[in-house]
Amino acid sequence: MALGIYGIIAMVFIITALIIQALLYRTKNEAANGIFIVNMVFGVVFAYITFSSLPSNFIGQKILTIVWAIIAVAGLLLKLKDKKFMMISKIMLSVAIIGSLVQLFM
């Protein structure tokens, strides 16, 4: 029973990540800032879920998870600093979300 629920949650995470990533690269209007923030929040949430699911003696993997969260926050800060780094910050968010998801399901 528990593995079935885990499978459903995994599919929801993957579908949500795909949708917000597609919206991140498609929007050019006022909603772009909101979608960007939603991506950053999901990146941090996925990193937190991955961090909390690891045993306490997996220090190297926990540090990697913290790096994914830092990349997501750095992408937001880079976007807020200057608009010319918009594409780089989008790529940083994508790397953070994909990295957290891959680490969570491996």
pLDDT digits (tens, 9 = 90+) for 17-57: 899 888 888 867 667 778 888 888 888 888 888 888 888 89
The torsion angle over the Cα atoms of residues 20, 102, 91 and 33, rounded to 10 degrees, is 30
How far apart CA 39 and CA 57 sit, in angstroms, is: 29
The structure's pTM equals 0.81
What mean pLDDT do residues 85-98 have?
88
Q: What six digits make up the tokens of 28? A: 């050019």
